[in-house]
Structure 1
Amino acid sequence: MKKLQNSLYITKDGVYLHKQRETLLIEQKVKGEKQKLMQLPIHSIGSIFCFGNIMVSPQLLGFCGENGTHLAFFDMHGHFLANVVGKQSGNVLLRRQQFSVDEIAANELAKHIVAAKIRSSRMLLLRFRRNHTSTPQIEKAIQRLKQIIEQLKDVSEYDKLLGLEGEAASHYFAAFGDMFKGNTNKQLFNHRTRRPPKDPVNAVISLLYSVLGQEISGALQGVGLDPQVGFLHKERPGRNSLALDLLEEFRAYIVDSVALKLFNNQTLTDKGFVTDSLGGVTLKDDARKLVFQAYQAKKQEEVTHPFMQEKVQIGLLPHIQAMLLARHFRGDLAHYPPFAIKK
């Protein structure tokens, strides 16, 4: 089993990252003088995520590319900008299998992913109802999502699949705000908005969706798959469509649950955010650090994988799903088993 390595999040503007022997050195100029902020064993780091104006040495870029250390750059809103990609790994025959999937098989794969996404969304609502309380909107979403999961069984057309996915998302996010306890928290989320997010909750989930999507992209490349050739999300230049496909399985289970915990425990409040002149909401530095701490803690938790029936760390799930998808394309698995917790 792959070992879960640490992820490093760099959020301080103007810092400089470079490799010094077998360590990663993080420095910043203070009054013209270099000041060491942190020094870490470089081989213990699996991913480096840089937000804002971060400088990286050519030697560190080369090391990340050669060793498969995922290095990605984002703006301060969490929008993905670029990442370092080393030599293509995996068997070219596997990628040919991925590219040759016909329309019928592609739609079937997309349907299984959508069904898993809706199950995870419904499970988050059910858990909240069981542990806290319910509202008419939550009850409506729980019932309708169950019906949509049943409807999906008879769907084979791509357009109908997208229609049901869109309806499910509409019901889910209509109820999502009811899971934030207290009147103050309910004002932090109205409906799903992006580019830019218009409230604190959307700012948090958009940020984590972006980060998790890049981790999934790295996991796909690690098993030799092309992250840009998807099935639910069709190809578009510059878009990692397959990574977005697998991201659907983890939106509610990982990201949305982290956001709920942060706000319901009062770890985050509206004081941790700023709103620009166009209404876009961004996290302040301290709030962003709290988000990444909670996200890392979530990745360290263990769960019994529903297909493998083994306990694994949540942070390894993207790598496991990438491996299972590769096995499906090779013909070792008749169907790809998307990740969805049943209880």
Structure 2
Amino acid sequence: MNPLLISGFGTSINVDRRKLIVTNKLKNQRLEFSPHKIDHDSIIIDGHTGNITFESMRWLMKHNIHLTLLNWDGKLLAATLPEAPLSGKLRIKQYQKYQDNTIRFKIAEKIVQSKIQSSLNLLSELAKFYDFGYAKAEKSIQNERQLFAKSEPSLNNLMTYEGRVAQAYFDSLGTIFAKTGTKFSFLQRLGKENRRNYNASDEINVLLNYGYSILEAEIRKCTNAIGLDYSIGFLHEVHQGRTPLVYDLQELLRWLVDYSVIQLLEEGSLQKSDFIVTESYHMRLRESGAKLLIEKIRINFNRKSPYKDKNSTYQNILYDNVQQLANFIADKIKRVEFVVPKMEINRDDTVLLRQKLL
């Protein structure tokens, strides 16, 4: 993962003498990329005015680089992707699996199980460095697991289980946010304002929303490359204009965005001036803050962890998990498992060391 962020007024993207040219006259900036010599795998456009030529879009598609267009509030507006593979049979089987309630529930349950395990993995790693009551959070999540195991297998019960665990998870993260982002506020995560609603009114939810949009664009890229229909999900319901399969698969790596935000807050490089308050009292991220966050996400996506007897980046791990889902849908494998290895956090300032210093 190596996105290029393009932001600001008056930005233009065009092709001149076979080179991709990105200019911003107001900032007196100009980037040039020769054919087959561009390191970026995507371009994120976060601006209100500017232009892009048909030729530059063709140039990007030929180089397998997708465009992501974000709204002022960080919400994903659109993504242009290279041509998807011909996958009519795969999509027919995807629709059939969706209509089979037993199989649909099985896939949805595996997604939630992976999300919850990854959430616990992150909390257990963060507990080395922050005192937020990990034992209490772990016990709460384990209790919810036991309650769900005794309940009737249904999507409603599964969503209730996932929601309760998410509440315990974000209660813990809220304590960490308060310790690391002392100059920023974090109201809540699961209210009407912030759960898939991008009108955030506090800085930390702005960061989370922006990061989730970057993740959403990566998921779209994966599903497009493999040939799945992202309008048909298994955990999230099908709605007009929505991409439920993307929302499903986001659950596998949301924790990585959460950790990227914590890292950004911990290092203290983010300032109040990196945010804008609109006249409706909502907040958005300036280009300076967006670049800092995207860099953290890029680094974490490219981190390697042991996976299937070798070290793989989390981007490749994500792709392989989506491929395994496609293999299950196509009846190439008999069971689906979403496997996301734990990220080891290596720092010197453990809770025990801090206590000794104090």
TM-score relative to the length of structure 2:
0.85
Q: 1:50 to 1:170 in 2, by over 3 A?
A: same
Provide the rounded CA distance (Å) in 2 between the counterparts of 1:131 and 1:94: 45
Residue 250 of structure 1 aligns with which residue? Answer: 253
CA displacement, residues 261-298 of structure 1 (integer Å, 9 cap, x when unaligned)? 11022122434222223221212221111111212121
Residue 68 of structure 2 aligns with which residue? Answer: 72
Residue 329 of structure 1 aligns with which residue? Answer: 329
Q: Which amino acid aligns with 2:156?
A: D
Provide the rounded CA distance (Å) in 2 between the counterparts of 1:286 and 1:183: 19
Provide the rounded CA distance (Å) in 2 between the counterparts of 1:71 and 1:203: 21
Q: Which amino acid aligns with 1:120?
A: S
Q: 1:21 to 1:332 in 2, by over 3 A?
A: farther
Q: 1:46 to 1:124 in 2, by over 3 A?
A: same
Aligned-residue offset at 1:70: 1.3
Answer yes or no: is 1:284 the counterpart of 2:281.
no
2:156 is aligned, of 154, 159, 163, to: 159
Answer yes or no: is 1:170 the counterpart of 2:141.
no
Residue 230 of structure 2 aligns with which residue? Answer: 227
Residue 47 of structure 1 aligns with which residue? Answer: 42
Q: 1:19 to 1:292 in 2, by over 3 A?
A: same
Q: Which amino acid aligns with 2:270?
A: L
Residue 313 of structure 1 aligns with which residue? Answer: 313
Provide the rounded CA distance (Å) in 2 between the counterparts of 1:258 and 1:72: 20
Q: Give structure 1 stretches of 5+ with no counterpart.
A: none
CA displacement, residues 88-122 of structure 1 (integer Å, 9 cap, x when unaligned)? 31421111111110111011100110111111112
Q: How does 1:102-141 map to 2 (within 5 A)?
A: 102-135=100-133, 138-141=134-137
Residue 191 of structure 1 aligns with which residue? Answer: 188
Q: Which amino acid aligns with 2:232?
A: V
> SS at the partner of 2:24?
strand
Answer yes or no: is 1:23 the counterpart of 2:19.
yes
> SS at the partner of 1:204?
helix
Aligned-residue offset at 1:216: 0.6
Answer yes or no: is 1:91 the counterpart of 2:94.
no
Provide the rounded CA distance (Å) in 2 between the counterparts of 1:115 and 1:322: 16
CA contact (8 A) 2:302 2:313 kept: yes
CA displacement, residues 36-73 of structure 1 (integer Å, 9 cap, x when unaligned)? 61112454332111112242111122344455421121
Q: How many residues align?
A: 331
Supply the RMSD in Å over aligned alpha carbons. 2.3
Q: Which amino acid aligns with 2:332?
A: D
Bigger mean CA deviation after superposition, 259-268 or 61-70: 61-70
Identity of aligned residues (%): 23
CA contact (8 A) 1:262 1:294 kept: yes
Q: 1:171 to 1:75 in 2, by over 3 A?
A: same
TM-score relative to the length of structure 1:
0.88
CA contact (8 A) 1:180 1:260 kept: yes
Q: Which amino acid aligns with 1:233?
A: H
CA contact (8 A) 2:212 2:257 kept: yes
Q: 1:68 to 1:117 in 2, by over 3 A?
A: same
Residue 214 of structure 1 aligns with which residue? Answer: 217
CA contact (8 A) 1:108 1:156 kept: no
> SS at the partner of 1:25?
strand
